[in-house]
Amino acid sequence: MKTEIETIRGETPGVSYELIVHRLQGNDPEAPRVYIQSALHADERPGVAAMHFLIPMLENAEREARLRGSVTLVPHANPIGAAQHLFSTHMGRFSGATRVNFNRDFPAPGADGNRTLDSASSATFAERRLKSRLLELADGCPIVLDLHCDDEGVQYLYIPEVLWPEMTDLAACLDAEAVLLWDKGADRAFEEAAFEQMRAKAGTAGLSGHCVTTVELRGQADVDAGSARKDAEGLFRFLELRGVVATGDSKAPALRSDFVGKQIRHVDMIHAPAGGTILYHARPGDRVEVGALIAEIIVDPGARDGTVQVHAPQAGYVLTRRGRRFIRMGDDLFKIIGENASVDSYEGTLED
């Protein structure tokens, strides 16, 4: 494995950020190339933990000449966000310079399929240069995985609908509980931008064999050796199935018996009707009926009518819930995959 440390210049003299890029060389130029990154939202750590166990597995495959396809790994994809702390609280989701979500507003390809990227010398924000560089690293790879996590949630993936069900193998290898399928981009998250370029380059050859996804590795607090090792083993098994790593076993695992796969428009985003202290009555992985009490918000402690109840708008599957227990009115509280399409019928990004 070859490790390179690239420099992302900051906005002021003396400030710069290091982007660590690991490259493993495959021995078959016809095998799929792979790009995997984690911690684009810099305060999301399950992907970094999974990389900790995945990297030695890939190094071993490279040493044993079992690595067929070349692999690029960026474990800390957002050194800018990693450096952002406010009064000891890590602020890794939004850029402190531009107030833009680190996983939004990636450069889009033009009509000719080529992308206008911000070079390292461009007089723009470091965040823009970082986003351009991440896309450069991923371009040309038919397999692109962006490892994230939610506040509190099950294991799930966002996948372009056109790549499903071919990407069932990844969901099964990761033992995912759910998949959300999308067919329209919204705010050019990394996954969307990478897929745009992937589709433009594939042309008439089609997208069979291609894979691009945001992998949500449960919740922010789900960082431990057991789950990280399981995630790494799942990713490695997927790379074996896709011919990136040579293996004698090509049989894919089966999806979970309780697996939920729906279009993203089936997601109900449940917003807090009041501010206060959350008392949850449902957790990720639960199945709820229409009208079920899923949470209460304490607004006036001890008063007879001191709580505001939150009910499920339809029968469905609880995908995620907010991690903190103090919430403002209007904040996102739950994601629930409904049996029917949501009234709001989301097509792209669900949250800021």
What is the 3-class SS of the chain, one letter each residue?
Answer: CEEEEEEEECCCCCCEEEEEEEEECCCCCCCCCEEEEECCCCCCCHHHHHHHHHHHHHHHHHHCCCECCCEEEECCCCHHHHCCEECCEECCCECCCCCCECCCCCCCECCCCCECCCCCCCCCCHHHHHHHHHHHHHCCCCEEEEEEEECEECEEEEEEHHHCCCCHHHHHHCCCCEEEEECCCCCCCHHHHHHHHHHHHHHHHCCCCCEEEEEEEEECCCCCHHHHHHHHHHHHHHHHHCCCECCCCCCCCCCCCCCEEEEHHHEEEEECCCCEEEEECCCCCCEECCCCEEEEEECCCCCCCCEEEEECCCCEEEEEECCCCEECCCCEEEEEEECCCCCCCCCCCCCC
pLDDT at position 204: 67
pLDDT at position 123: 45
Tens digit of pLDDT at every position of the chain (352 positions) = 999 999 999 989 999 999 999 999 999 999 999 999 999 999 999 999 999 999 999 999 999 999 999 999 999 999 999 999 999 999 999 998 889 999 999 987 655 556 566 554 454 789 999 999 999 999 999 999 999 999 999 999 999 999 999 999 999 999 999 999 999 877 899 999 999 989 988 876 789 999 999 999 999 999 999 999 999 999 999 999 999 999 877 688 999 999 999 999 999 999 999 999 999 999 999 999 999 999 999 999 999 999 999 999 999 999 999 999 999 999 999 999 999 998 776 666 677 7
Structural domains present in the chain:
2-258 (3.40.630.10), 264-338 (2.40.50.100)
pLDDT at position 117: 61
pLDDT at position 124: 76
